[in-house]
Amino acid sequence: MNQHAPSSQSVDTRPLVAIIGGGPAGLIAAETLADAGINVELFDAMPSLGRKFLMAGRGGLNITHTEPFEDFITRYGERSAQMLPMLQNFDANHLRLWAANLGIETFVGSSGRVFPREMKAAPLLRAWLHRLRAQGVRFHVRHRWTGWEQQQLTFETPEGVRSVRADATLLALGGGSWAKLGSDGAWYPLLEAVGVLLQPLRPANCGFITDWSELMQSRHAGEPLKGVMLSCTDPQGKHWQQKGELMLTRYGLEGGLIYALSAPIRDTIETQGSAVITIDLIPDRSEQQLLKALSKPRGSRSLSNHLRRQGIKSIQTDLLREVLSAEQMQDMAQLASTLKSLPLTLTATRPMDEAISTTGGVDFSAMTEDLMLNKRPGTFCAGEMLDWEAPTGGYLLTACFASGHHAAKGVMKWLAAENRL
Ligand SMILES: Cc1cc2nc3c(=O)[nH]c(=O)nc-3n(C[C@H](O)[C@H](O)[C@H](O)COP(=O)(O)OP(=O)(O)OC[C@H]3O[C@@H](n4cnc5c(N)ncnc54)[C@H](O)[C@@H]3O)c2cc1C
């Protein structure tokens, strides 16, 4: 369908599908369509593809998780029902097989998380793009989608504005964090303008702000708190608890554990203005054991020395000082109970652009089950731009792959129904 394509020369009567967004969701959609012999042109605003995917690779690229499917699906919380059909057709096993087919061996880490053997995204992305090119997918970088003009897609390119007429379009534009990698959420007003129901983009898997003292900031910013237990209660009164690692920063908390509970904490801050979390700093010692240890004669030792002798680290002592008065600091029962349940008030999330992922975006009610926009027949959406969220652990990428695959299948069904296949 050459008169549609921006750069092709030869006569091609196959339908043209325009995919906009070259992250994992757009790329797997391109693969699914190209596998079926469909003519695919993929556009991306950035000078190269998969930049956020490459960034995910810096942390080892936790691509999926091996827990049983019935547990896996619960990670999508309120959106589990919507994600179910997508993940049933493209689950963790499917993703590992797919990677293996690309020559990328994966392994299961101790927590059940799955990583490529090389712990990097670049070899996988390179092999993938190579295979897509061989399948005939054409890439157009530096093409920023700016909306529609009648039935044509419009792009800003270094050569000026370009219009493309496609038989179907698949948007995989990402969420609203790490704008410098391409996912800037600038698509939001474009879809809003055509009446698509969207939920506000909000940070997910994000850091939080708390009001540390100067001492805390100067002494402990950048220090990890390993093996601690974090508890919080969401606005519906549900209690959340998880063990893991936190990272203290100048402004508050980052790290896997706070990301894991970021949704209930964020929701509490949104409804109540702040959220109080509690941290068990020493989960493997009971309060009684701690009290017994701390009650040993102190002699002439300073409190810090006394606590250190009883196995309390300086970061833990300084955290106690953050929440207890000088008088309370002398009360060993108070210290023991606070070590087991340190209350911290979090006042805000860190800015959305810093978040690992975002929630919000295209509301599921704005799409058919095949992820086609009701307001724009022939236009499908996939990936992080849809309104779902999940913790880290490989659930984000798996859902991006699964939804990209699902939307591509939807495109094929729609083209067939329109007699264009
Ligand atoms: C630091 C970090 C670490 C992460 N680690 C993990 C991990 O280990 N495991 C995991 O599961 N997930 C991880 N993630 C999340 C994961 O990378 C994302 O969820 C995933 O990349 C989203 O895929 P996507 O295809 O929906 O969108 P993206 O990967 O964001 O791709 C969207 C693409 O659309 C393009 N685009 C946007 N707007 C336009 C426009 N108007 N015109 C043209 N092109 C446009 C962008 O340039 C971009 O290439 C991590 C994220 C970050 C930031």
User: What per-residue confidence (pLDDT) applies to 3?
Assistant: 39
> Is residue 248 in some structural domain?
yes
Question: What are phi and psi for residue 203, nearest 5 degrees?
Answer: -65, 145
> Is residue 7 in some structural domain?
no
DSSP H stretches of helix in 139-296: 188-193, 214-220, 256-260, 262-272, 287-294
> Is residue 46 in some structural domain?
yes
Q: What is the rounded average pLDDT of the residues 75-102?
A: 98
> Is residue 142 in some structural domain?
yes
Domain interval for residue 314:
208-349
How many domains, the chain? 2
- Verify whether ligand 1 is closer than 6 Å to residue 183 (CB atom): yes
How confident is the model over 45-74, as pLDDT tens digits? 999 999 999 999 998 999 999 999 999 999
Half-sphere exposure of 61 (CA within 13 A, CB side): 26
For residues 387 and 200, give the distance between their C-alpha atoms in angstroms, rounded to a whole number. 9
DSSP H stretches of helix in 273-370: 287-294, 303-309, 314-323, 332-340
User: What per-residue confidence (pLDDT) applies to 10?
Assistant: 60
How confident is the model over 325-335, as pLDDT tens digits? 999 999 999 99
User: What per-residue confidence (pLDDT) applies to 49?
Assistant: 98
Tell which atom from ligand 1 comes closest to the C-alpha of 26: 25
CATH code of the domain containing 413: 3.50.50.60
Protein residue with least CA distance to atom 26, ligand 1: 383
Q: Are residues 345 and 239 in the same domain?
A: yes
Q: Are residues 176 and 245 in the same domain?
A: no
Q: Are residues 155 and 35 in the same domain?
A: yes
- Examine the fold and report which residue of 291, 324, 349 is the final residue of a domain before the chain moves on: 349
DSSP H stretches of helix in 3-136: 24-35, 51-58, 69-72, 80-89, 92-101, 122-134
The DSSP code for 72 is H
> Is residue 11 in some structural domain?
no
Q: Are residues 252 and 109 in the same domain?
A: no
Q: Are residues 180 and 87 in the same domain?
A: yes
> Is residue 259 in some structural domain?
yes
Q: What spacing in Å lies between the alpha carbon of 152 and ligand 1's midpoint?
A: 25
Mean pLDDT of the chain, nearest integer:
96
Q: What spacing in Å lies between the alpha carbon of 95 and ligand 1's midpoint?
A: 17
Question: What are phi and psi for residue 19, nearest 5 degrees?
Answer: -105, 130
Q: What spacing in Å lies between the alpha carbon of 23 and ligand 1's midpoint?
A: 5
Identify whether the C-beta of residue 246 lies closer than 8 Å to the C-beta of residue 382: no
- Examine the fold and report which residue of 303, 319, 349 is the final residue of a domain before the chain moves on: 349
Q: Are residues 131 and 41 in the same domain?
A: yes
> Is residue 165 in some structural domain?
yes
Q: Are residues 314 and 330 in the same domain?
A: yes
Q: Is 137 helix (H, G, I), strand (E, B) or coil?
A: coil
Q: Are residues 193 and 227 in the same domain?
A: no
- Verify whether ligand 1 is closer than 6 Å to residue 178 (CB atom): yes
Q: What spacing in Å lies between the alpha carbon of 53 and ligand 1's midpoint?
A: 6
User: What per-residue confidence (pLDDT) applies to 2?
Assistant: 36
- Residue 7 clears pLDDT 70, i.e. is over it: no
Confidence of residue 344 (pLDDT cuts 50, 70, 90): very high
- Examine the fold and report which residue of 331, 349, 367 is the final residue of a domain before the chain moves on: 349
Nearest Cα to Cα of residue 317 among 305, 301, 327: 305
Strand ranges of the sheet holding 64-65, from the earlier edge strand across to the other edge:
64-65, 113-116, 106-108
Identify whether the C-beta of residue 121 lies closer than 8 Å to the C-beta of residue 57: yes
Tell which atom from ligand 1 comes closest to the C-alpha of 62: 8
For residues 37 and 248, give the distance between their C-alpha atoms in angstroms, rounded to a whole number. 51
> Is residue 278 in some structural domain?
yes
Tell which atom from ligand 1 comes closest to the C-alpha of 25: 25
Q: What is the rounded average pLDDT of the residues 119-125?
A: 97
Identify whether the C-beta of residue 290 lies closer than 8 Å to the C-beta of residue 336: yes
Q: Are residues 172 and 225 in the same domain?
A: no
For residues 33 and 172, give the distance between their C-alpha atoms in angstroms, rounded to a whole number. 14
Retrieve residue 182's tokens.
Answer: 């391409």
- Verify whether ligand 1 is closer than 6 Å to residue 57 (CB atom): no
Q: Are residues 369 and 337 in the same domain?
A: no
CA angle 140, 146, 149 (to 5 degrees): 105
User: What per-residue confidence (pLDDT) applies to 14?
Assistant: 87
How confident is the model over 357-390, as pLDDT tens digits? 999 999 999 999 999 999 999 999 999 999 999 9
Residue 321, burial from CB neighbour count under 10 angstroms (0-12, 13-18, 19+): middle
Q: Are residues 227 and 171 in the same domain?
A: no
Residue 91, burial from CB neighbour count under 10 angstroms (0-12, 13-18, 19+): middle
* Neighbour tally for 381: CB within 10 Å: 28
How confident is the model over 220-276, as pLDDT tens digits? 999 999 999 999 999 999 999 999 999 999 999 999 999 999 999 999 999 999 999
Q: Are residues 60 and 99 in the same domain?
A: yes
